[in-house]
Structure 1
Amino acid sequence: MRLSTVILPVYRWNEGRSVWRRAEELGLHAAYTYDHLTWQSFRGGPWFGTVPTLAAAATATSRIRLGTMVASPNFRHPVPFAKELMTLDDLSGGRMTLGIGAGGAGFDASVLGEDTWSTRERADRFGEFTRLLSRLLGEDETTSLDGTYYRADAAEMLPGSTQSPRMPFHVAAGGPRGMRLAAELGQGWITVGDLESGPKVAAAQIAKLREICAEAGRDLAEFELTLLNMPRSAPEQPLTSFNAFVDWAGAYQEAGITELILHWPIPESEFAADMDVFERVATEGLASL
């Protein structure tokens, strides 16, 4: 099992640099950041851009993996986003992971003044968006597509991805359609579990994903199976104490999860936690399972 963190893009870089470096010093597997234009309870406060933040983190660190948790089609087009991802992979020396999901309603979905997408359209866009990104980053030096929602006309991606054939795609999906996309294109899968019975639900989701992967000729053992803890809404509070983390992590390990993600503590927010507990968890937690 691996332990990673999400560092929200709320820091001016003279402070943020030390946060990303500290995550690496603690030995965490990966440090991700949200790919949103703002986040609910942080509206009206500092919130920096995802791609520039990851670019700065790539040059401030040397070992820890970096990534999005998660990108979506809400305000992005696959062609310029693929160019940015290719650049981030180069800047990081091949340490990028793309966490990607369908997105949801809210500020990110409405800020560009578009009509609200139906559930079906959102799923259709997500599939087309992800497939085009995969082609752009991994298949050809130039890519063309005349799709339903996205178009590319001889889009060049040179010099190409640092990782071969491209950076890993970790697909956030709770239902069968998203899981089928993960089985088609993913190297990992992301869940937030369930508010009431997280490990039990995660185990059921993994069982379903295993069936879908088998139908697609994929082996689930090839996947990173990731659980993102959401402390604002979940009754699970793994950072209340070291023992609470060990119990929580052990339950998800038994369910089949291979990567746990905790939010970097932010005082006076929904992500507040004791930094001493967090650092002990980061350095000793998995060894205690």
Structure 2
Amino acid sequence: MRLSTVILPVRRWSEGGKEVWQRAEELGFHTAYTYDHLSWRSFRDQAWFGAIPTLTAAATATSRMRLGTLVTSPNFRHPVTLAKELISLDDISDGRVTLGIGAGGSGFDATALGREPWSPRERADHFGEFLPLLDKLLTQDVVSHQGERYTAHEVRNIPGCVQRPRLPFAVAATGPRGLKLAARHGQAWVTTGDLKDATGTPVASREVVRGQIERLEKACADVGRDCGELRKIVLTGFTPDRPLDSLDAFVDFAGAHAELGVDEIVIHWPIADSVFAADAAVFERIATEGLAQLAGQETPPVDVRTDATR
């Protein structure tokens, strides 16, 4: 099991932003992610900085911890420009980048460029073309593409990623089309354990995740891939569970999800007076002791290796 965190880009770099990323590395988090949005829900009228510049700064302020988005989407991104930024970020971080990526939603990002939000079908259509094209752009020196939604004309991406054949994709998906993309292109799969029609209990939430993993396994089998090759990541904070209430609550949550096949838990870095408020002391105990208690060890394992396949 890995333990990672997501640090929302709400702090000025000179006013505590840098120190948060450095502290995350000191605490031993495997990866520190950030949201790739233009703004987000309750933070819409508050400070919010760009994901790629933030991760670039974090890459220069840390040396071991992996970095990533959770998640990027086609809502305001184009594969050609995104690929160039990712190759640059992968170089600056010396190969420590993971791209969390999904189809996006219908929030502020969907209308910020002055268009009507895409329907779920349209989001899936865009994602279905976006992700394979991004894969090509990150693995081939020269790419041309003429699709229904995206065009690339003799795009050069030399020298490519530090990580070969490219930086890893963590694909957020629960529907059949997205799961097929995860099976074909992902090195990891991401879920928030979205309850939707479930009963709103932790047990029901876990059953949702169980069902999602079963469908992922089928999608992998359909394309001839071993589902075990994909890491299964749960981003917490969107289910009835409260894993940050105490160390024991986290261990119970992580253990229950480990039994389902989940091998990475992502917890939000606390932000006071927000939906992600949490006791900082409890959060740090979870970071330093949670996995050790889960494994029944006396000392916490710290896995900050930068090899994305390990």
Q: Which moved more, 1:192-201 or 1:17-26?
A: 192-201
- Residue 276 of structure 2, aligned match among 257, 271, 274: 271
The aligned residue for residue 10 of structure 1 is 10
The aligned residue for residue 204 of structure 1 is 211
Letter in 2 for 1:205: Q
How far the C-alpha of 1:194 sits from its partner, in A, is 3.4
The alignment partner of 1:285 has SS state of: helix
Distance across 1 between alignment mates of 2:128 and 2:86: 18
- Residue 241 of structure 2, aligned match among 236, 242, 245: 236
The alignment partner of 1:189 has SS state of: strand
Distance across 2 between alignment mates of 1:31 and 1:261: 9
Percent identical among aligned pairs is 60
Distance across 1 between alignment mates of 2:119 and 2:270: 35
Does the CA-based 8 Å contact 1:200-1:255 persist in structure 2?
no
The aligned residue for residue 226 of structure 1 is 233
**How high is the TM-score relative to the length of structure 2?**
0.91
Distance across 2 between alignment mates of 1:281 and 1:167: 28
The aligned residue for residue 257 of structure 1 is 262
Does the CA-based 8 Å contact 2:205-2:240 persist in structure 1?
no
Distance across 1 between alignment mates of 2:77 and 2:115: 13
Distance across 2 between alignment mates of 1:96 and 1:137: 13
How far the C-alpha of 1:120 sits from its partner, in A, is 1.6
Aligned length: 286
How far the C-alpha of 1:96 sits from its partner, in A, is 0.3
Does the CA-based 8 Å contact 1:249-1:260 persist in structure 2?
yes
Distance across 1 between alignment mates of 2:81 and 2:218: 35
The aligned residue for residue 307 of structure 2 is none
The alignment partner of 1:254 has SS state of: helix
**How high is the TM-score relative to the length of structure 1?**
0.97
Deviation string for 1:163-206 (max 9, x for gaps)?
00000011000111110000111111000113422222111211
In the alignment, structure 1 segments of 5+ residues that lack a partner are none
The aligned residue for residue 128 of structure 2 is 127
Deviation string for 1:236-265 (max 9, x for gaps)?
111111111111111111111010000000
Segments ≥4 residues shifted beyond 3 Å: none
How far the C-alpha of 1:155 sits from its partner, in A, is 0.5
Q: 1:52-201 to 2 correspondence within 5 Å?
A: 52-138=53-139, 140-195=140-195, 196=200, 197-201=204-208
Distance across 2 between alignment mates of 1:207 and 1:279: 33
Does the CA-based 8 Å contact 1:72-1:101 persist in structure 2?
yes
The alignment partner of 2:77 has SS state of: coil
Does the CA-based 8 Å contact 2:192-2:239 persist in structure 1?
no
Letter in 1 for 2:167: M
The alignment partner of 1:67 has SS state of: strand
The alignment partner of 1:68 has SS state of: strand
Distance across 2 between alignment mates of 1:180 and 1:203: 17
The alignment partner of 2:144 has SS state of: strand
Distance across 2 between alignment mates of 1:209 and 1:110: 30
The alignment partner of 1:80 has SS state of: helix
The alignment partner of 2:245 has SS state of: coil
The alignment partner of 2:217 has SS state of: helix
Letter in 2 for 1:82: A
